[in-house]
Structures are given as C-alpha cells and as structure tokens.
A and B are shown apart, each in its own frame.
Chain A
Amino acid sequence: MAFTRREGVRALLWLSPWLVGIAIFFVYPLASTVYFSFHRYDLFTLEFIGLDNWRYAFSDPRLLQSGLNTLWLVVFMVPAQVLFALGVAQLLTKVKSGSSLLRTLFYLPSLVPTVAGTVAFVYLLNPATGPVNQVLSWIGITGPDWFGSAAWAKPSLTLLALWGAGNTVMIFLAALLDVPKHLYEAAAIDGAGAWRQFRDITLPVISPVLMFSAVTGVIYAVQYFTQAMIASRVASGATDSAGTSFTPGYPDGALLTLPQHLFQTGFRDWSMGLACVHALLLFAVSMVFTLVLLRQFSRAEAAS
C-alpha cells in the first residue's frame, strides 16, 4: 500500500518518542564508540590513530584469553544453570509436602547481594581456613585451591551461579505448573513413560520460557563482571591500598572476562579508544549469540 506524505509524517510523529530514545540511548553511544575506536583517547586528549587500536586489540593475548573465558561461561555456565534450574523446578513440582518451604529455600540465595554471596563463597572455599576443604579432609580428600587454581576457578564460579539460580527456578516452576494436566493424563493412557511425557509434552510447552532464560542467561554471561572481579580480588589476597594496582583475572587470568578487560583498559589504563574496540567486540559477540539462539529456537518451534 502506498503511504501519502502526510501519513508518513504522522507515523514519524507517533514514533518520535521512540526515535528520540533510540537515538540518544543507542545510536549516539554506538556511533561515538565507533568514532572513539579510531582515536587515542584518555578523556583529555583526542588524536586520530586509524586502525592502531584494532591492530593492538587483535594481537593482545589478554583479549583472546578474556574472550575464551567469556565463551567458557556461555558454553558451560549457562547450560549448567538452565539444566540445574529445570531439574530443581521439576523436583519441586513432585514434592508433596513442605513445597512452599523448599521453594523459599531455593529462592532465598538469589536475594543475597551479589558481592556478599561471592565473598562468602570465597571464604567457604578458602584453601587454608575454609570449612569446605576442612570437611573434605575428614573424608580423606585434599580439596583444591578452588578460586586460586586456574583449573578450578571457573567451575567454582559456576557453583556460585547454580546456588544463586533461584530466579530461574521460580520461572521454570511457574511454567511447569502451567502445563495442562490433561495432556499428561492423555499421554499416560497412551502408555507414554515419564521421559516420553517430559520430551513430548513438557519441553514443547515450556520452550518459550526455556528460550527466554537461555537468551537472558547468555546475555548475562557475556556481561559477567561482578562475581568474577570480586572472586579474583578476594581470593588473590591482594591488598587494597593506595599505590597498589589490582589486575582482574586472578588466578592466571582464568577469571578475566571480556567486560573486566574492557573496564581495566578503559577506566584503569585510560585507553578509551582501545576499550571502545573491546566494547564493539562485546556487542558483536552478544549479537551473534542472541541471533544464533533465536534462530535455533524458532527452528525447534517450527519443527514441533
């Protein structure tokens, strides 16, 4: 259909609040990020340096390392969190008595402030004074230096993420309770077992919710910052005093995520141009993951 000029103007008028919003909060920051990425910028001096920031970024081993760490979180932590939350929610639907107490118990950790929860975990898992390794030693196991060894640091953070997955558990629980009972009854009459019921009834019905938590989980993982920063800092035992600088990533860069590297580059080294390159890469990575996930799910939806 053909729009007249007047209609076009009117449409723009109706859209204008949104246009202004997206221009100020999305297009302008994005454009300036691109602009600054070609400059040497320390908040005081601005100097055009062409592709130097980009060249430096791609030869920076720390960027690769932080990118791989973030990828690890997306590939392992997000699925672990979704599966764990789904499992717990499924169990909670089966519990006959005391379910409200259990629901509260599983939800409570997500009310604990992130920083406090992380610090508590690091203390619990302290290799010298932590109770976890103490208990392990009673049964003859020498516990690892959880947040202090490169191999265990990310799994330890995953444990923390599972502990705090109460929000997702609640969302899944609501979705599971929303599956029409009669579908299960019909399936049971047709002789479908528990697994078959789960695969052919539960999963298709709750798949929009699964997709929602997978997408938000991935976006969250790509932006993962606070827990890793706090865990590194507390576990390293580094001192927090004037004149000492702290590098995120302890141990051995195992907890250096892309956003932390960006923060360090921009707000500790004041290399804003380089940090803008990191920001654009982060943006591209989140876009790619989100698009892939959306496509997977819409394909799965079309197939079912």
Chain B
Amino acid sequence: MRSLPLAAAGLLALTLTACTAGNTAPPALGAKPTTTSTDPAALPAATLELWHGFSTDVETKAFEDAIAGFTTKFPQIKVVAQKGIQDAQITQAIRGGQAPDVAASFTTDNVAQWCKSGAFQDLTPVIAQDGIDLNVLPAAARSYTEFDGKRCTMPLLADAYGLYYNKALMKGEQPPKTLSELTELTKKLTVRDAEGNIEVAGFIPSFQYYENSPSHLGPMVGAKWYNDDGTSAIGSDPAWKQLLQWQKELVDWYGYDKLEKFRKGLGDEWGAEHPFFEGKVAMVLDGEWRNAMIASEAEDLDYGTAPMPVADDKPDLYGSGFTAGTVIGVPKGAKHPQQAWELVKYLTTDTESLVTLSNALRNVPTTKAAMDHPGLAKNERFATFLDIFAHPKTSTLPANVNSVFNQDAFSTFLIEWEKGAVKDLDAGLAGVDKRIDDKMKLSGG
C-alpha cells in the first residue's frame, strides 16, 4: 500500500512540473556581445530552422529565393525552411521547447501575446547593437510588430488595403472619394432582376463579405480600437457609430435578406470565380495581393485601384487605409539565436532582398528604401497600394493580447447590427466594450 501515496506524490510532481516544462533556454538574443557584424565570415556555422506560412509553389519558391540570397552572403549557414505553418503550431512548439530558430506569421493577431509572454525574443538590444534605424519603417508597420515596448518581431512584407473597381461596370464614373459618393455610386451601379434579386452589386456593404472586416473598414472613418490604457474605445469613439450608420443605411437600401442571398451565391474568395473577376460587383475593398491574382486568374479584366473613400467630414484621411502584414522573429528556445537574428535582419532590412521578394509575391515591401528602389516593379494599379502604405494616416489594428477575441466580439455584434436586431446602438457598442474590457481584466492586462 505504500506505493499509493508515492504514486500520488509522483502525480502531483508531474502536475507541477508540467507547467514549467520547456524553460531550459538556450542562449537568448543579445546575451553575448556579437562580433561587429560587418564581417559575415565571423559568424559561426549553423543550420537554422525557419518556419513560415507560405504554401503555394510560387510563394514558397519566391521566399526560398530570398533565403538563398542570405546563404550566399553567409555560406557557413544553412537554412531549412518549413512551409505552411500556422500560428498555433508556432506557439505550441515554443511551449514544448521545440522552437525553430526563426518563425514567420501571416497574421499580426498574436504579436502582443508573443511579446508579452516572451515567446518571441525581444529584438531591441540587437537592433541597438547593430545600429538599425527603425524609422525606415512606416509608423503603422512599427506598431503592429511590437507590444508594450517590446519589439519581438519585424515586418517582413506588408499588405495595404484599398478599393478595386471594375471599369466596365463603373459606367464612366470616377472612383468615390467619400462615403456619400460611395453610397450614391452603389445605388447607381447596382442591377436587380424583376423580383428585386441582386444581379450586380455596386459595393457590398456587409461586414460578413470577404475582406470587409471592421479592422479593414475602420480606417475609412479613422476609427480607434483602443484607448491609451488598453481598454476598448469602440463605444466611445463616435467614428464607429458614423461607420455603422452609414453601412446600415446601405444594407437597408439593398434589403438584408436580398443582400445575404446575393452574398451566399458568390464564388470563393480565393478561387477563379471571385465575384469581382466575374463582374458581379463593381467596387470591392481588397488587399494589394489581389492584383497578382487578377493577373493570373482574370487577366482580361479592365480594372483600376484607388484608396478607400473616407468619411465626408474627414477629407484628410483620403489616401490612407488599413495595413498589416507578415511578421518574423526569433522564438524563445531558438538554438542559434545569433545567426537567426542575422537572417531576420537580412530578410526584413536588406533592400535588394525585399525588392525581389515583393516583385515575386506582389506584396508591399516594408522599408522606404525598398519602396523607392528602381528595381521594384510597379504599375499604376500596384503603386496605389505603395502610396496607401506610406500615407501618414494609414493605420493598423494595434497589438492586443486578446486581439482575436476582441475582433470576434465586435464582429458578432456587427452581424446583429446589419441584420437589424440591435435596437439601441449606444447600448450595443457599450456591451462590446464591456466584453472586451472584462476579458482584458481576466487576461491580466
């Protein structure tokens, strides 16, 4: 019988140690003084493991070409890339002590969590050591890669969002610059059949439509997500109310049921039957990457791009938009942090590399030098997005430990709102604030 208490004690010990597993850390970044990095050969040889989210052949090849640029510069370092990695895999690997040396993520949603928990190493000391001037990055890109004074990731490539319009469907009209122009044009360009079903939509105002998330639409009215103390600003910033009222009026003009029926009959966002390719919608909000997709799926489409229209009373916002992008950093537990940082530094600040990568992937390069580089392939349609990205009023979704939760809380409310189930908008938005703030308290922020 003596074995029972022993087993129980063993179990208890297991329970207690389980939470501290994976804390045996290899050397952290900046712990050792690096050699003055002008001489690449001074870096000891190593094999780096890099995880990234690119998955299609074209993307993977473009990214591996960029890595090849690094290994030519540092022949003693070998890089093994793993494609198609999602954030959850990164988090779990770090937690289990099996972290790669470098990890890249397509979303900025987890940056706050990673910085706060130390899952990704703070790059501030090495950035200072190597004398990198972060002002080469636009303010928005600086903001979505750090949290609470900890810069644990760097922007790799960015996405900027703007308006795509189908020239044939525009009937000679210019793209709208204000929300009221957008409404007016939408009403003019929409085509319905005898029963009132939508055949061609001018602009789809639904928050449930592909890229129409509140984070992407908010910049049109300059709406703010958080107060300085990290609490939700959704209920208190009148800009959101302005956006929602504008949006609801347009939804009601279509009729919610008709709009939903139309929306659900549309082709997949990532397929060749995208409604914009098929001429079912005249104007859409989309990222700069849509240019590349149109080029490969619907090359005959005659279209133009422009910044998103903005609130009538805030004309100075015109030209700005939403931006976010791919982030890359060195996880805690990286076996070769020093070499890993060299790779991150190369991929995120080397102008040639950024230009090549941007040309191949048709994403926005993040540094000013890369944007001005003569080698950057740009046509008028793509240049729109470079301008949006560089615009001083361009904004992003600020990093927050509960980023996913907060967006969910707001989106859930927005669906009720556009459906007409919300009687009191102020009370509803206050409810969103409360959900976000309560969760914030629980997360200890």
Contacts and interface: CB of A to CB of B under 8 A. Distances in A.
Interface of A: 8-9, 12, 19, 23, 27-28, 31-32, 35-36, 40-47, 49, 52-53, 56, 59, 126-129, 145, 148, 235-245, 247, 249-253, 264, 267-271, 274
B15 A31 contact: yes
B208 A238 contact: yes
Contacts of B444: 40, 47, 49
Contacts of B412: 247, 249, 253
Interface stretch (B32-40, B69-77, B261-269): B261-269
Contacts of B297: none
A23 B415 CA distance: 46
A145 B261 CA distance: 8
A235 B441 CA distance: 33
Nearest to A250: B415
Is the interface on chain B under 10, 10 to 19, 20 to 34, or 35 or more residues? 35 or more
Contacts of B269: 239, 241
Contacts of A52: 442
B253 to A, nearest CB: 19
10 contacts: A44-B117, A46-B19, A128-B261, A129-B265, A148-B264, A237-B264, A243-B109, A243-B159, A245-B408, A252-B421
Contact of A128 (B108, B264, B404, B438): B264
Given A43-B91, A46-B19, A245-B109, A128 B265 contact: yes
Contact of A252 (B53, B88, B416, B442): B416
Given A40-B442, A148-B260, A237-B263, 10 more contacts: A36-B19, A42-B113, A59-B438, A126-B264, A129-B265, A243-B108, A251-B415, A264-B408, A268-B404, A268-B405
Interface of B: 1, 3, 7, 11-12, 14-15, 18-20, 53, 88, 91-92, 94-95, 105-109, 113, 117-119, 159, 208-211, 213, 257, 260-266, 269-270, 324, 402, 404-405, 407-408, 411-412, 415-416, 421, 438-439, 442-444
Contacts of B18: 32
Contact of A245 (B53, B257, B407): B407
A23 B1 contact: no
Nearest to B119: A44
Given A53-B442, A245-B404, A31 B416 contact: no
Contacts of A244: 213
A33 to B, nearest CB: 10
B442 A127 contact: no
B7 to A, nearest CB: 6
Contacts of A268: 404-405
A249 B257 CA distance: 19
Nearest to A41: B19
Contact of B443 (A43, A127, A239, A271): A271
B265 A126 contact: yes
Q: Which of A40, A235, A268 has the most CB of B within 10 A?
A: A268
A274 B442 contact: yes
Contacts of B20: 46
A243 B107 contact: yes
Nearest to A9: B1
Q: Which of B91, B264, B265, B439 has the most CB of A within 10 A?
A: B264
Contacts of B1: 8-9, 12
Contact of B438 (A8, A35, A45, A56): A56
A31 B210 CA distance: 43
Contacts of A19: 7
Contacts of A270: 91, 113
